[in-house]
Amino acid sequence: MDEWGIALPAIIGTVAVYYGSRVLYKRFPFPFLLPIVTGTAVIVLFLAAAGISYPAYMIGGKWIEHLLGPAVVALAIPLYKQREVLKMYAVPVMGGVTAGAAAGILSGYFPAKWAGIEENLIAAVLPKSVTTPVAMEVSASTGGAPALAAVFVMVAGIGGVVSAAAFFKWCGIRHELARGIALGSASHAIGTAKALENGEREGTASSVAMTLSAVLISVLIPSLAFILF
Amino acid sequence: MDGIRMIVHIGILYLFYYAGVWIQETLNTVIPGSIIGMLLLLLFFYAKLVKPALIEKGANLLLSHMPLLFLPVTAGVMAHFSLFAGKGLILAVIAYISTLIVMLTAGWTAQWLVRRRESDG
């Protein structure tokens, strides 16, 4: 019962912050005001100001986080509804995801190597484009710290969704399937949540890309580890 | 009624989620239980064992508020603030630029293949 005394305010507070940041984003739809950005900032600042530790907040926060499991399962619905589209575009989806996964590993590994960064730190950066649990496992299997890997997953997720609109325009990625594949390959489930807001097709392409890239990267990185590290 | 229906729908999604987690633990794989659960549900749709309408209300609720579900996780960077000093900062910049490179490569490749396909047909 003492636990619920902490958990309930944390849950209600998080939902309230989320709704507030949604209202703000509807009024001012700038990428850096996306609910995931302002919501995270408000929670982090509030906890810091009130002197509440992250583990204490998570006594309530874990109940919200736990719903991510069934939410990922729920992605089967858009996938199934768009099955004809996916069948038709199987080659672009596979091609885009594979190219993206390879580019992500190379463009994470070499700059870090040239900057003289230790291998155990590099191992935590490489799986940044896949969903948190996969990234943590892949990082651990190649000698990187799981918690550090989770931080870079957030950098890829938030950095990706904040930049996506301007970046797609700038480099001429216009097709909705290509946008979805790019978001899912680069920014995993956070990118997929954004793609779903843009439309069912873009969201579907993104969920497929996210799934394929999780499978691909969890096979690729441990196999390449012998060469890289 | 709608509220009860949503809870039942989310309950069914949880069944698939836990089945996925169980498969992950049994096979001892890095592919997360949630993704295995999603593939399992997709398989049930294809086999016509489950109709999308059976879970649609709950699924739509979760999918339309997915950013909320991430907030506790993303707030977790707070626990690692010290990492963003020195080498951590360099790595965060590399991670960000590399993310854009992934978007560019995946997006361009996909778009090129989509257009090729559309001009064929």
Residue B99 corresponds to which tokens in the numbers above? 């993310």
Please state, rounded to an integer, the average pLDDT across all residues of chain A: 91
A113 and A93 in a common domain: yes
Which of A48, A66, A84 corresponds to the end of one domain? A66
Classify residue A216 by its DSSP letter: H
User: Which range marks the domain in which residue A28 is found?
Assistant: 2-66
Residue A180 lies in a domain: yes
Residue B71 lies in a domain: no
Across the interface, whether the CB atoms of B59 and A77 are under 8 A apart is answered: yes
Name the pLDDT band for B78 (thresholds 50, 70, 90): low
User: Which range marks the domain in which residue B33 is found?
Assistant: 1-64
- Is the Cβ of A206 closer than 8 Å to some Cβ of chain B? no
Report ipTM for this prediction. 0.90
Residue B86 lies in a domain: yes
Q: What's the rounded Cα separation, in Å, for the pair A109 and A217?
A: 14
- Is the Cβ of A141 closer than 8 Å to some Cβ of chain B? yes
How do residues B6-43 score in pLDDT, each as one tens digit?
999 999 999 999 999 999 899 988 778 888 999 999 99
Across the interface, whether the CB atoms of A129 and B34 are under 8 A apart is answered: no
Residue A130 corresponds to which tokens in the numbers above? 């896949």
Structural domains counted in chain B: 2
Which of A14, A31, A66 corresponds to the end of one domain? A66
Residue A71 lies in a domain: no
B90 and B39 in a common domain: no
Q: Count of CB atoms within 10 A of residue A166's CB?
A: 10
A220 and A170 in a common domain: yes
Q: What's the rounded Cα separation, in Å, for the pair B111 and A182?
A: 10
Q: Which residue has the tokens 């698939």?
A: B16
